[in-house]
C-alpha cells in the first residue's frame, strides 16, 4: 500500500538557519504530493503541493520538488523564522478512480529559536 | 465562507457512552473524510465519503460509524466509547483530488 516516510524530529534550529525536512514515498501510481503545517492547537493547513514529476511547490518561502526518480518531496526553506515553529506533515494522494484518500507521514516537529 | 466547521472542540466521555462529532462544510466539496491524530502516529483515516450517500472505510474504522445524507454534513458517531478512542479528530474536505484538502480545527476527545 501507499506510505510516506519523513525524517524524525524534533528539529531545532536558530532563526535564519536553512531548513530541510526529508520526505520519501511509496505509491503504485502517480500520486499528488503535499506538505501540511500544523501550528500549536490548530488544525492542518495546506502549505504547498505538487501534482506531477518535476513540479515545484512553493509558499511562504518554503519549497519542495516532486522527484519521481528518488520518490522524494523534501521540504526546504532558506531562512527560518520563529513563527515557522510547527509540526510539518508530508502526505500523498494516490491517482486514479475515486481514490481521494490522503496518506500522511508521522510529522516532524520544528522549533526555531530566536 | 466558513470552510470546514467541527463541533464540539473538546469533549470528555465515559467508557461506553456514545456521541456524534459534527462536521459541516460550505464549499460544495464532494469529498469528506475523518482522521484521528495520535502522538507519533501521524494522521490515520477513519472513514471517507466521495459524495452524498457514498461512504467507505479507511485505515482505522472499528468503533466508528458515518453517514452522508447531504453534501454539507459528514457526522462521525462513536457507538460505545473506549479509552483507545482518546484522540484528536479532524474532518477534511476537498473538491477533487490534487487540489488540496481543507481541514477543520479539530475535536479533542478524552474517554475516561
Q: What is the pLDDT of residue B98?
A: 62
Q: Give the number of A-B residue pairs with CB atoms closer than 8 Å.
A: 58
Percentage of chain B lying above the pLDDT 90 cut: 86
Asked if B98 lies within 8 A of A93 by C-beta distance, the reply is: yes
pLDDT reported for residue B56: 92
**Cα B69 to Cα A113: distance, rounded to the nearest angstrom:** 48
Is B97–A49 a contact, with Cβ atoms under 8 angstroms apart? no
CA–CA distance, B109 with B10 (Å, rounded to integer): 6
Distance, CA of A26 to chain centre: 15
Confidence check: pLDDT of B94 > 60: yes
Predicted local distance difference test score (pLDDT) of residue A96: 63
How high is the pLDDT of residue B97? 65
Nearest CA-CA distance, residue B73 and chain A, Å: 18
The predicted model gives A25-39 an average pLDDT of 91
Residue A6 has pLDDT above 80, yes or no: yes
Cell of A5: 516516510
> What is the predicted pLDDT for the residue at B35?
96
User: Looking at residue A2, what is its pLDDT?
Assistant: 85
Alpha carbons A86 and B51: distance in angstroms, whole number: 32
Distance CA B99, CA A1 (A): 22
Q: In whole angstroms, what is the distance from residue B91 CA to residue B89 CA?
A: 7
Helix (H) or strand (E) holding B74: none
Does residue A66 have a pLDDT over 90? yes
Chain B contact for A106, CB < 8 A? yes
- pLDDT score at A94: 79
The 10s digit of each residue's pLDDT in A79-114 is: 999 999 999 999 998 766 556 778 899 999 999 999
- Contacting residues of B for A39, CB less than 8 Å apart: none
Higher-scoring residue by pLDDT: A64, B50: A64
Count of Cβ atoms closer than 10 Å to residue A57 Cβ? 20
Averaged pLDDT of chain B: 93
Amino acid at each position: 500500500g501507499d506510505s510516506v516516510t519523513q525524517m524524525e524530529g524534533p528539529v531545532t534550529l536558530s532563526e535564519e538557519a536553512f531548513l530541510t525536512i526529508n520526505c520519501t514515498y511509496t505509491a503504485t501510481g502517480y500520486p499528488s504530493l503535499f506538505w501540511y503545517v500544523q501550528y500549536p492547537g490548530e488544525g492542518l493547513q495546506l502549505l504547498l503541493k505538487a501534482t506531477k514529476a518535476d513540479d515545484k511547490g512553493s509558499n511562504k518561502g518554503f519549497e519542495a520538488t516532486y522527484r519521481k526518480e528518488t520518490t522524494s518531496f523534501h521540504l526546504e526553506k532558506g531562512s527560518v523564522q520563529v513563527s515557522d515553529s510547527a509540526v510539518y506533515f508530508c502526505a500523498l494522494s494516490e491517482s486514479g478512480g475515486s481514490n481521494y484518500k490522503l496518506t500522511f507521514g508521522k510529522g516532524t516537529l520544528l522549533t526555531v529559536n530566536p | 465562507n466558513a470552510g470546514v466547521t467541527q463541533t464540539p472542540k473538546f469533549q470528555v466521555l465515559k467508557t461506553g457512552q456514545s456521541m456524534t462529532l459534527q462536521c459541516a462544510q460550505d464549499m460544495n466539496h464532494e469529498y469528506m473524510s475523518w482522521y484521528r491524530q495520535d502522538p507519533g502516529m501521524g494522521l490515520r483515516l477513519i472513514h471517507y465519503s466521495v459524495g452524498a450517500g457514498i461512504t467507505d472505510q479507511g485505515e482505522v474504522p472499528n468503533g466508528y460509524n458515518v453517514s452522508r445524507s447531504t453534501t454539507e454534513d459528514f457526522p462521525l458517531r462513536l457507538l460505545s466509547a473506549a479509552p483507545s478512542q482518546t484522540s484528536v479528530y479532524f474532518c477534511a474536505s476537498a473538491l477533487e483530488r490534487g487540489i488540496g484538502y481543507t481541514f477543520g480545527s479539530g475535536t479533542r476527545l478524552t474517554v475516561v
